[in-house]
Amino acid sequence: MSVIALVLAIAIGAEPTPPDPAPSPALARARLCWAAVDAERAEAALAQARAMLGDLVPEDQIAVLVLSAEVALSSDQPDVARVHLVAALERDPRLA
């Protein structure tokens, strides 16, 4: 929120809107590792992101789960990938 918008919100007595939460550093690290085709490090970063899944915004939760499924599939773990995809679909059925 800009300073001007904050001043205007205070002047008219409105509640200022909170800023958007910062993206997950673990998700960003996982994306970088996966882009570098380093599945082992991507999975380690994704494990950290999944540990704090409840603290992430819904878009990041889905991104973590979908990327986790992709990494699991590339590591020949279809059952693990299925678990992550089901969890992503439970959060957003439009993915189907």
* pLDDT values of the chain reduced to their tens digit, one per residue, 96 residues: 566 665 656 667 656 566 666 678 999 999 999 999 899 999 999 999 999 999 999 999 999 999 999 999 999 999 999 999 999 999 998 887
pTM: 0.75
Decide: 95 and 62 in contact? Cβ < 8 Å.
yes
Own/partner contacts of 19-24, CB < 8 Å, gap of 24 or more, are 20/57, 21/56, 21/57, 23/60, 24/49, 24/52, 24/56, 24/60, 24/64
**To 10 degrees, the CA torsion angle through 81, 83, 87, 88?**
10
